């Protein structure tokens, strides 16, 4: 991470015209601080007549010192997968409803970002997943995931059947609607809805959470993040693998999905005093009296 920040990318939720006002105000503020402001090319479509240059995400990757994302967690997931391999730190401003990853608000973003530009921030590393689809030993699809890699049936067909191996050792065969391989970040997303545990994002682990398993003894399991996880499809029907709800690939019988930890983490910046437990209390309504 390069600090002090000089080149700052602004990225907003795609096709959300309501972000134009906050983005324009933030861009003007950053520019007044003497920073070079660049707007994501898709976001720039909402800023007609903007004086700030626009770049594609892949162009930004090697040119930016900091990326500020205005949107919800879904927006942050996509940006993190694209920019994290290039060590670009991310700040999230929540314009959505939940916001586990985007912890600033539109009301406090300018004050909070001003403090961050002065070096008053907390740095947090979040691990990413790398997954490959192998067909007859040849990779036919691959990608990164910030939350989870999910193997699941794609319609109302019958359960799928698959085998799971960890570091080459057989774990189980399972009939279920699918299987979630989740990072600690993703433990508050689909994995939590499927009954998996909440994992603190600093933990160096992954979790495997079955989706509606046929046998109730098939429970979530937590493993070390250095593990090689292999999922082999035995009976498919309509089945696919999905990365963070953003990309997916249709699977065939005997395809193997190999999931490992990606070597480069995502870097999130938070205001001083940020607390993950406070976020849990607020987002999951744990602070409400019974």
What CATH number should be reported for the domain holding residue 66? 3.40.50.10330
249 and 211 both lie in a single domain? yes
236 and 164 both lie in a single domain? yes
Residue 272's domain comprises: 7-127+265-283
How many angstroms separate the first and last alpha carbons of the chain?
A: 44
The pairing of strands 205-211 and 239-243 is unpaired
The total of structural domains in the chain comes to: 2
The pairing of strands 90-94 and 66-71 is parallel
32 and 94 both lie in a single domain? yes
Q: Is there a domain that residue 1 lies in?
A: no
Query: Tokens representing 29?
Result: 């503020």
Give the CATH number of the domain where residue 139 resides.
Answer: 2.60.200.30
Which entry of 40, 65, 73, 103 is annotated as an active-site residue? 73
Per-residue model confidence (pLDDT) at position 290: 61
Tens-binned pLDDT, residue by residue, of the chain (290 aa): 888 999 999 999 877 888 889 999 999 999 999 999 999 999 998 888 889 999 999 899 899 999 999 988 888 999 999 999 999 999 999 886 667 888 898 999 999 999 999 999 999 999 999 999 999 999 999 999 999 999 998 776 678 999 999 999 999 999 999 999 999 999 999 999 999 999 999 999 999 999 999 888 889 999 999 999 999 998 767 899 999 988 999 999 999 999 999 999 999 999 999 999 999 998 888 877 66
Asked if 218 and 196 touch (Cβ cutoff 8 Å), the reply is no
192 and 235 both lie in a single domain? yes
Rounded to 10°, the helix 20-32/109-117 angle is: 30
Per-residue model confidence (pLDDT) at position 102: 86
Query: Would you call 146 helix, strand, or coil by DSSP?
Result: coil
Question: How far is 249 from 236, CA to CA, in rounded Å?
Answer: 13
The phi, psi pair for 268, rounded to 5°, reads -105, 140
Q: Is there a domain that residue 2 lies in?
A: no
163 and 230 both lie in a single domain? yes
Reported as half-sphere exposure (CB side, CA atoms, 13 A), residue 232 has a value of 15
Per-residue model confidence (pLDDT) at position 154: 78
103 and 165 both lie in a single domain? no
Which residue pairs from 271-275 have beta carbons closer than 8 angstroms and sit at least 24 positions apart in sequence?
271/103, 271/104, 271/112, 271/115, 271/116, 271/120, 271/121, 271/122, 272/115, 272/120, 272/121, 272/122, 273/122, 274/103, 274/122, 274/124
Classify residue 228 by its DSSP letter.
P
Q: Does a cis peptide bond (omega within 30 degrees of 0) precede residue 152?
A: no
Q: Is 204 annotated in the active site? A: no
For residue 172, list its beta bridge partners: 164
């Amino acid at each position: 991470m390069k600090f002090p920040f000089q080149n700052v990318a602004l990225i907003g939720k795609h096709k959300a015209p309501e972000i134009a006002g906050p983005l324009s105000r933030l861009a003007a503020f950053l520019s007044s601080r003497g920073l070079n402001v660049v707007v994501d090319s898709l976001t720039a479509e909402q800023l007609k007549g903007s004086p700030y240059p626009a770049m594609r995400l892949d162009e930004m990757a090697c040119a930016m010192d900091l990326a500020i994302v205005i949107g919800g967690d879904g927006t942050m997931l996509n940006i993190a997968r694209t920019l994290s391999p290039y060590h670009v730190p991310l700040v999230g401003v929540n314009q959505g409803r939940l916001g586990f990853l985007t912890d600033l608000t539109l009301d406090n973003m300018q004050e909070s970002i001003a403090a961050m530009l002065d070096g008053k921030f907390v740095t947090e590393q979040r691990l990413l997943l790398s997954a490959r689809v192998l067909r007859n030993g040849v990779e036919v699809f691959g990608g990164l995931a910030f939350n989870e890699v999910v193997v699941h049936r794609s319609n109302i067909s019958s359960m799928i059947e698959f085998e799971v191996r960890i570091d080459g050792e057989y774990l189980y065969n399972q009939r279920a609607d699918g299987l979630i391989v989740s990072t600690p970040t993703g433990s508050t997303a689909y994995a939590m809805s499927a009954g998996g545990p909440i994992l603190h994002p600093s933990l160096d682990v992954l979790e495997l959470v079955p989706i509606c398993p046929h046998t109730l003894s098939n429970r979530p399991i937590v493993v070390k993040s250095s593990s090689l996880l292999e999922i082999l499809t035995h009976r498919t029907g309509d089945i696919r693998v999905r990365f963070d709800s953003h990309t997916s690939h249709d699977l065939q019988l005997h395809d193997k999905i190999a999931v490992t930890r990606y070597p480069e983490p995502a870097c999130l910046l938070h205001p001083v005093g940020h607390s993950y437990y406070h976020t849990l209390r607020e987002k999951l309504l744990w602070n409400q009296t019974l």
